[in-house]
Amino acid sequence: MKRRDFLRHSLVFVSGASVSLAALEFVSVGELLAARPEARWGFLVDTYRCVGCGFCVKACKIENDIPLEANVTRTWVERYLILKDGRVLADSPKGALHGFTDQRVDRAAEGFEEVSNQEIASAFFVPKLCNQCDNPPCVQVCPVGATYQTADGVVLVDHKWCIGCGYCIMGCPYGVRFFHPVEHVADKCTFCYHRISQGLDTACAQACPFGARRVGNLRDPDDPIARILLTQRVGVLKDEFGTKPQVFYLGLSKEVR
Amino acid sequence: MKNHVWRPLFVVIGLVALILLARAFYVPADFGTHERGYMYSYNRTGNIEEWKAFEAKYRGSQYCQGCHEDKTSALSAAQHAIIPCENCHGAAFGHPDDPEKLTVDRSRNLCLRCHAALVTPGSGRIQLPGIDAQNHNPGIECSDCHNPHHPNLAEMQG
């Protein structure tokens, strides 16, 4: 083979080989539109009903194999105390795994703060969980494609594929992601994907005696959750971030972040 | 171009080809872009099935009915009817095969989750009968006096 031929052939081979497989998959817009599925899971939290018993947190941890006493949780309940002098106190001891049984507010390093009943203007509980955003920033930052959104709108983490870099944990504006202490990968609420895809309630919604947590299909006009979202005034957390959260709150107030 | 330029270049080209080859073997066939495009669904589809196959541990209160009829009927007629059995007894898993028994938690904290009196105007908590844990019979388990499955005060025997 002549040197010139050899060079030409190897050039052709290498440029062919370097077109990565992903680049050959063209996305058709028609296919994308046709793929609009029947289900889009959403969640409704009614803060008026929540009593702060924390059974949802316990159920979530047991259902999803999150070590009970580890300082991480997929869902938690926050207590807000709005005082008459305008101060806002918030706490969530152990994510409310054992509920709220103490009138004093847990101020972490500063210890417990006594608040007298006369000072309190308003106080309530706000359950938090993954918002399963329509524009999830955590998914955008994943360098290896280990976290993604399913066709029915749930953001999942591929535990086998995750390299544990932690970008998604930093990228979530709601702080719902954490490093799994046993699996050593990123982890987060899945809306109990294994339960909802079998027609069961999420573990937290099933555990709630007061109906403060409910999961539903937003694409089904007869779904009770969808009806409430259409007819009542609901709010979402950190709307200004443009993440389009799919966890909706009844009774949200401006103090809640 | 001179030979000393091409030779290292061949090494680089060879390496790139090798990496691409390794990638073709290492990356599973179901890895790629899906419904929501490269930005939101660049993943392994097999993982969705893996998540669906995750084991459910909570069975729901209807499951207990067949075997613990007495408890279920007592509870369903009580103010506590709204509380799922598994909240107080833990997840059923494969009970009664594995585990054979569920935990019976007699701690005061179990009841105080709902009954500790907290000043929380603006939440459902104020509608629950609250007690001051420090002064309401301290040191004694609540179930010594109250029946957890039927806490009705009017029917309470001394």
CATH number, domain of A84, equals 3.30.70.20
Q: Is the pLDDT of residue A17 over 90?
A: no
**Structural domains of chain B, count:** 2
Q: Shortest Cα distance from A138 to chain B (angstroms)?
A: 9
Contact list in B for residue A140 (CB cut-off 8 A) is: 39-40
Final residue belonging to a domain, choices B37, B53, B69: B53
Name the pLDDT band for A24 (thresholds 50, 70, 90). Answer: very low
Beta bridge partners of A43: A215, A247
pLDDT confidence of residue B49 = 95
- Report the percent of chain B where pLDDT is more than 70: 98
- The residue of chain B nearest to residue A150, with distances taken between CA atoms, is B41
pLDDT confidence of residue A8 = 84
Q: Testing the interface with A: which of B48, B127, B142 to mutate, by most A Cβ within 10 A?
A: B48
Contact list in B for residue A13 (CB cut-off 8 A) is: 17
Structural domain contains residue A189? yes
Give the one of A20, A35, A123 whose C-beta lies nearest to B123's C-beta.
Answer: A123
Which residue range forms the structural domain that includes residue B13?
A: 3-53
Closest CA to B94 of B124, B56, B68, B43: B56
Residue with more model confidence, A135 or A221:
A135
pLDDT confidence of residue A20 = 52
Residue with more model confidence, A124 or A30:
A124
Least confident window among A216-225, B62-71, B148-157: B148-157
Structural domain contains residue A1? no
pLDDT confidence of residue B157 = 61
Which residue range forms the structural domain that includes residue A169?
A: 21-251
pLDDT confidence of residue B156 = 77
Name the pLDDT band for A10 (thresholds 50, 70, 90). Answer: confident
- Report the percent of chain A where pLDDT is more than 90: 78
**3-state SS assignment for residue A178:** strand
Average confidence score pLDDT of chain A: 90
Q: Is the pLDDT of residue A30 over 60?
A: no
E-state strands within A84-152: 88-91, 105-106, 112-113, 120-128, 147-149
Structural domain contains residue A5? no
Name the pLDDT band for A108 (thresholds 50, 70, 90). Answer: confident
Structural domain contains residue B32? yes
Structural domain contains residue A25? yes
Q: How many CB atoms lie within 10 A of CB A240?
A: 6
**Structural domains of chain A, count:** 1
Judge contact between A247 and A174, C-beta under 8 A.
Answer: no
Name the pLDDT band for A214 (thresholds 50, 70, 90). Answer: very high
Structural domain contains residue B20? yes
The ipTM value here is: 0.89
Name the pLDDT band for A61 (thresholds 50, 70, 90). Answer: very high
pLDDT confidence of residue B122 = 86
A128 CA to centre of own chain: 8
Structural domain contains residue B122? yes
Partner-chain contact A120 B33, CB within 8 Å: no
What pLDDT digit, counting tens, does each position of A124-167 carry? 999 999 999 999 999 999 999 999 999 999 999 999 999 999 99
Average pLDDT of the residues in A205-226: 94
Residue with more model confidence, A36 or B58:
B58
pLDDT confidence of residue B36 = 87
Structural domain contains residue B98? no
Which of A107-116, B17-26, B149-158 ranks highest by mean pLDDT? B17-26
- Report the percent of chain B where pLDDT is more than 90: 84
Least confident window among A1-10, A143-152, B70-79, B86-95: A1-10
What pLDDT digit, counting tens, does each position of A189-208 carry? 999 999 999 999 999 999 99
Average pLDDT of the residues in A41-66: 96
Partner-chain contact A139 B39, CB within 8 Å: yes
Scanning B2-61 for CB atoms below 8 A from A yields 6, 10, 13, 16-17, 20-21, 23-24, 27, 31-44, 47-48, 50-58, 60
Contact list in B for residue A123 (CB cut-off 8 A) is: 118-123
Q: Is the pLDDT of residue A25 over 70?
A: no
| A100–chain B Cβ distance below 8 A for any pair | yes
Give the one of B17, B33, B83 whose C-beta lies nearest to A14's C-beta.
Answer: B17
Judge contact between B39 and A148, C-beta under 8 A.
Answer: no
